[in-house]
Amino acid sequence: MRILFVAMPNSVHTSRWISQLYDQGYDLHLFPSTRATPDQTLRNVSLHLASIGSRCISKVACAIPRTFELEQRLRLKSVPVIFDRAFWLAQVIRLVKPDIIHSLEIQGAGYQTLAARERLGEKFPTWIATNWGSDIYLFGRLAEHVGRIKAVLAACDYYSCECQRDVQLAKKLGLQGKVLPVLPNTGGFDLARISQFRKPGPTSLRRLILLKGYQSWAGRALVALRAIALCAGELRGYRVAIYSASCDVEIAAELVSQSTGIRIDLIPPCSHDDMLCLFGRARIYIGLSISDAISTSLLEAIVMGAFPIQSCTACADEWIEDGKTGFIVPPEDEQAVAAAIQRAAADDTLVDQAAEENARVAAERLDRSVIQPQVIAMYEEVATKELAKKRGK
C-alpha cells in the first residue's frame, strides 16, 4: 500500500501517527503542508519538498523521482514554476501515484489537498481527511473558513477525527464520506515503557502543578495564572511549571511569582519523554483554551496520573467525569478555575481515586497495543474497499 500524507512535518503528532505504520511494509510518503524542519522523530517516510527536492528519512535510499528534477523539467518546457503548494502537491501525486492520500489537519493540509484535487479531477486517489484540534469546532463558525471546510467535507472519501462531537459537526457541515473510527490523532502510548517516567507513590504526594502555557487565539494560560494567584494561600509548598509559554505568559508568570511567593518555572523546549516525566511528577495539570479537540496534554495527564483541569471546549467529557476523574471548567472564568485548583490541591482522596480510574481508562483506550491495530485495520479496510470499487468499474 502506498500512502501519501499531507501534514505539518515539524509536528510530533504527525510523527507519532505515521510511526504506527512503520512495521507494516507500506510505502509511506509525506508532502509538508508547511515550510518547517521535520520533527526529529520522523522515520521511514519519503519526504517531498516543494521546489526543493525529495529525500527519504530512512536508511534506505529513495527510489522515486525528485521533485527538484521535476521542477527543472518544467523549466525546460517553459511551464511557469508557481510556488504554490497545491501545484506542487499535484505534481507529487502524479509522480508517486498513491493508493491513499491522507491529509492530517484541515486548514493547511486539507485546503491544499482540496486544491490539488481540483487540479487533477477524476484522477485523484482515495482521500482521507482528518480533523485536528479546532479545525471544525472553531473554524467551522468563521465566515472566512466555513465554505472551504464544507468543500473539503463534501470532497473527501473518508473522514476521521478524535471526538464524537466533531463527527456530528462534520455531518452538519455536509460531510459526504464515510466516517472512520474515532481515535486520538497522536495514536496510542506505550504504557509499559512510559511507566518508568511516573513518580512512584500516590498522586497525592506530588507537589507540582503543570500548566500549558499557550496564550493565543485559542489558548488561555493567563486565565490559569490569575486563578493560581487567587488561590495562592492554598498552594504553599507547591511549584508551578509552565511549558510552551508565550512571551506574555512568561512576563505574567514572573509577576505572579513575585506577588504570591509561589515558585514558577518556565520549561524550555524538550523531548516528549521529558514532558511525560513532568506529567508523571505533577499532581495537577491545567489546560485552558476556547477551542480544541482532544487536548493531547489531557491524555498525557491521564496516562501519567496527574489530575486534569481542562476547559469545556476540548471534548474532555469524552474522557473524564467532571468532579470525579478531573474538572471541566469554562476557559475564561478564573474564579471557576481557582475553585478547581483549590479542591484538587486539598483533596488527596479525590486525586488518588482519579488517578486509579484514569489508569484504567488509559489501559482500555490509550495503550498503543489497543490503538495501533485499529489504525492498521482502518487503512486496510479503506484500501480493500477502494480496490473493490476499481475492479467493479
- In the predicted structure, residue 369 carries a pLDDT above the cut 50: yes
What's the rounded mean pLDDT across residues 162-180? 96
- In the predicted structure, residue 248 carries a pLDDT above the cut 80: yes
The pLDDT of residue 56 is 39
The pLDDT of residue 84 is 73
- In the predicted structure, residue 390 carries a pLDDT above the cut 60: yes
The pLDDT of residue 69 is 36
The model's pLDDT over 285-294, given as tens digits with 9 standing for 90+, comes to 999 999 999 9
> End-to-end distance of the chain based on CA atoms, in angstroms?
20
Between CA 3 and CA 26 the distance in angstroms is 7
The model's pLDDT over 308-335, given as tens digits with 9 standing for 90+, comes to 999 999 999 999 999 999 999 999 999 9
Percent of the residues in the chain that have a pLDDT greater than 90, as a whole number: 80
Q: Please state the φ and ψ torsions of residue 143, each to the nearest 5 degrees.
A: -60, -35
- pLDDT range class, residue 75, cuts 50, 70, 90: very low
What's the rounded mean pLDDT across residues 5-14? 93
The pLDDT of residue 139 is 93
What's the rounded mean pLDDT across residues 214-228? 95
- Give residue 374's identity as a one-letter amino acid code: Q
The pLDDT of residue 40 is 86
What's the rounded mean pLDDT across residues 235-241? 97
3-state DSSP of 181-236? CCCCCCCCECHHHHHHHCCCCCHHHCCEEEEECCECCCEEHHHHHHHHHHCHHHHC
- In the predicted structure, residue 160 carries a pLDDT above the cut 90: yes
Between CA 224 and CA 344 the distance in angstroms is 14
186/35: higher pLDDT: 186
Between CA 361 and CA 316 the distance in angstroms is 13
Q: Give whole-number Cα distances, 368 to 164, 181, 294, 377, in Å.
A: 20, 15, 17, 14
Strands of the sheet containing 208-212, edge to edge, are: 263-267, 239-243, 208-212, 284-287, 307-311, 327-329
| Lowest-pLDDT choice from 31-35, 188-192, 370-374 | 31-35
Percent of the residues in the chain that have a pLDDT greater than 70, as a whole number: 91
Between CA 179 and CA 169 the distance in angstroms is 12
- pLDDT range class, residue 370, cuts 50, 70, 90: very high
Parallel, antiparallel, or unpaired for β 100-104 and 307-311? unpaired
Between CA 184 and CA 210 the distance in angstroms is 22
The pLDDT of residue 393 is 59
Between CA 93 and CA 85 the distance in angstroms is 12
The model's pLDDT over 273-282, given as tens digits with 9 standing for 90+, comes to 999 999 999 9
What's the rounded mean pLDDT across residues 206-215? 97
Q: Which three cell numbers stand for residue 55?
A: 529525500
Structural domains in the chain plus CATH codes: 2-188+368-392 (3.40.50.2000), 191-365 (3.40.50.2000)
DSSP string for residues in 367-390: BHHHHHHHHHHHHHHHHHHHHHHH
The pLDDT of residue 34 is 87
The pLDDT of residue 43 is 87
The pLDDT of residue 50 is 60
